[in-house]
Structure 1
Amino acid sequence: MENTSVALSVIFVSIGAFFILIGYLVRVKKEMGLIAGFNVENAKDRHGLSRPIGAFMITAGILSIMIAL
Structure 2
Amino acid sequence: MDIERQLILAGDEIILIFTGLLVCFLGYLIWIKQKLGLLAGYKERFIKDKKGLSSFMGKWLFTIGIITILIPLGIRIFNQHVWWLYASIILIAAIRIYIRMPYYLRKK
Common fold by TM > 0.5? yes
Higher relative contact order, structure no. (Cα contacts within 8 Å, ≥ 6 residues apart): 1
Which range moves more in the overlay, 37-46 or 55-64?
A: 37-46
1:34 partner letter:
L
Pick from 40, 50, 53 the counterpart of residue 44 of structure 2. 40
Alpha-carbon distance in 1 for matches of 2:66, 2:49: 27
Once the two structures are superposed, residues 2-49 of structure 1 have per-residue CA deviations (whole angstroms, 9 ceiling, x without a partner) of 111000000000000001100000000000001111112321111111
The one-letter amino acid of 1:5's match is L
User: What is the distance in 1 between the residues matched to 2:60 and 2:46?
Assistant: 22
Runs of 4+ in 1 over 6 A off after TM superposition: none
1:7-26 pair list within 5 angstroms = 7-26=11-30
Question: Pairwise CA RMSD of aligned residues?
Answer: 0.8
Is residue 2:41 matched to residue 1:31?
no
> Paired residue for 1:61?
65
SS of the residue aligned with 1:44? coil
Q: Which structure 1 segments of 5+ residues have no match?
A: none
